[in-house]
Amino acid sequence: MIRALFAAALLATVCAARAEAKDILGTVQDAGTFTILLQAVKNTGLTETLSAPGPITIFAPTDDAFAKLGPEKLKDLMKPENKEKLRNILSYHIVDGKAVSRDFLGKRLEAATIQGGSLLIDATKGVTVDNAKMVKADIIADNGFIHVIDTVVMPK
């Protein structure tokens, strides 16, 4: 009887913890500083990509990072006729696989993006990703990792 109760309690705890776990999209949404990124992901159909089992790593620009593009450019990118251009930009921020800070600290390396390009990660003095400063690293989601950056990086 005690074993059955213990097993039931353990199962309930595991299920509750799993219910609280969030994928990258849920984690980014809860942060509250990525509303433009979330809208752009929705507009471009990348929702499935960021909800996939993973591991996936995203270098996530904040709303302030998107604001640096300027209101006209941002408005233009969000137009339906620029969906592929925006998708190309967003895909340049996503790495298929695990890329955590311990893998690149003290190094200068490239990470292949799902867009087909490579991000230059320079972690020899602080951490930059192409021309963006990494402001927070290693936010864990149940399907990958989020690194917060202060600038939208553009494919080469």
Please tell me the predicted confidence (pLDDT) of residue 156.
86
Alpha carbons 146 and 24: distance in angstroms, whole number: 7
Would the pLDDT of 140 be above 50? Answer: yes
Bigger pLDDT: 20 or 114?
A: 114
> Which two structure tokens, joined as six digits, stand for 25?
């999209």
Report how far residue 45's alpha carbon sits from residue 65's, in angstroms, rounded to the nearest whole number: 21
CATH class of 22-149: mainly beta
**Per-residue pLDDT tens digits for 61-119:** 999 999 999 999 999 999 999 999 999 999 999 999 999 999 999 999 999 999 999 99
Euclidean distance between CA atoms 136 and 120, whole angstroms: 17
Identify the band that residue 21 occupies on the pLDDT scale cut at 50, 70 and 90.
low
Per domain, the residue ranges of the chain are 22-149
Q: 91, 115 in Cβ contact below 8 A?
A: yes
153: left (phi over 0), alpha (psi -120 to 50) or beta: beta
